[in-house]
Amino acid sequence: MSGSGRSAIFSLSDGLDPVQPGNGENAAHARLIGSDGIRDCFVHRITSAGATLTVIGPLTDGDRGRIELPFGVSAEGSVLGDDPAAFTFCFDEPLDVVGALARCLAALPSERRQMPRVELRQRLCIRHGDQVDFAWTRNLSPAGLGVETRAALQVGEVVEVTLDGLRPIAGEIRWTERGQAGIAFAEELGWQILMPWLRQVANRRPPVAQEPMAGSASPLGAVKNAIKLDAATHVRSGSSWWNAQITSLSNALVEFESETEFAPLCGLWLSLPQIGGWPIRVIECHGARHVAEFRLPLRPHEMSRLSEAARPR
């Protein structure tokens, strides 16, 4: 496969929103086979639902055909739109994007096997200075990622990012613009790490909406020394880290939300603001909402530091 085949964007977003196709350097060469024969085309973005293409010659909305991608993947479908400079080819059946990405990598010689950019939307934590903020990924490559964030990040600032299921990753802010930022990793992530993780992301089901806890009140609401927090953080399970949001805690209990469900009696490490890691054990799980007990109760001076962290700034 040629180098251009690596530059198509593989997207784990299901939408088929039109995108600017850009130039030939941001596309993979492919073939579109229809009733009027075979045409060369360029694939700019591949999702499970379809692909964004440019092609020479007229097209008609609804035309049937088959697209053959340069790494041994083909799909039947139909044309959506009539602008050959930027149209969508909708697949009849959902495409396994991670499987297609694996074929793309397998088609490359080992010395050139580097993942292209992957588009995905995942919540992550960014630790910068003494602050931790949530952000959302826009795209990911072995060298870094683009994010959407409200945090006041500075170019050149050293950060640590946490993606659900991976270890914290050190990096540096390379650019910021209108609520977006680019982060370069201190060390590139190999495809051997990213491919299994992307498979988990693709297979992960959205959290199931469940009935709220009785009265929708926090279990810590009646606890005298409970502190209300709105703190971005993460929990560790084994060697993997998961993003979480602490909503309230006492010296013995903590309530947090996480897109990953942890079963009752599960042992975790929770990162506490201004304190660090602390062992907890889950005692209740209601969808994204968890209540856990501290394996070691927090002492008065630690509660004092958390109270200070909870004050508006």
pLDDT of residue 2 exceeding 60, the answer is no
* Top-confidence residue, 110 or 273: 273
pLDDT at res. 255: 94
**Distance set, CA 178 to CA 20, 147, 148, 182 (Å):** 19, 11, 9, 12
pLDDT of residue 222 exceeding 80, the answer is no
Three-state SS at 284: strand
**Distance set, CA 68 to CA 43, 47, 114, 255, 286 (Å):** 10, 15, 22, 50, 45
- Which pLDDT band, with edges at 50, 70 and 90, does 312 fall under? low
Q: Helices 97-106 and 191-203, interaxial angle, to 10°?
A: 160
pLDDT of residue 212 exceeding 60, the answer is no
User: 247-258 pLDDT, tens per residue?
Assistant: 999 999 999 999
Among the four given CATH numbers 2.40.10.220, 3.40.50.150, 3.40.50.300, 3.20.20.105, the one describing domain 215-310: 2.40.10.220
User: 52-98 pLDDT, tens per residue?
Assistant: 988 877 778 888 999 998 778 899 999 888 776 678 899 999 999 99
Average the pLDDT over each of 10-24, 26-40, 108-122 and give the range with the smallest value. 10-24
Residue whose pair of structure tokens reads 């502190």 in the numeric block: 227
Q: Name the segment(s) of the chain with CATH classification 2.40.10.220.
A: 3-112, 120-203, 215-310
- Superfamily covering domain 3-112: predicted glycosyltransferase like domains (2.40.10.220)
- Superfamily covering domain 120-203: predicted glycosyltransferase like domains (2.40.10.220)
pLDDT at res. 14: 65
User: 158-190 pLDDT, tens per residue?
Assistant: 999 999 999 999 999 999 999 999 999 999 998
Cα distance between residue 98 and residue 199, in whole Å: 6
* Top-confidence residue, 312 or 283: 283
The closest of 53, 38, 45, 50 to 83, measured between CA atoms, is 53
Q: What is the mean pLDDT of residues 259-283?
A: 92
pTM above 0.75, yes or no: yes
Q: What are phi and psi of 202, to 5 degrees?
A: -65, -35
Q: 301 in the Ramachandran plot: left (φ > 0), alpha (ψ -120 to 50) or beta?
A: alpha
* Top-confidence residue, 290 or 57: 290
pLDDT at res. 15: 60
Question: Which amino acid makes up residue 228?
Answer: K
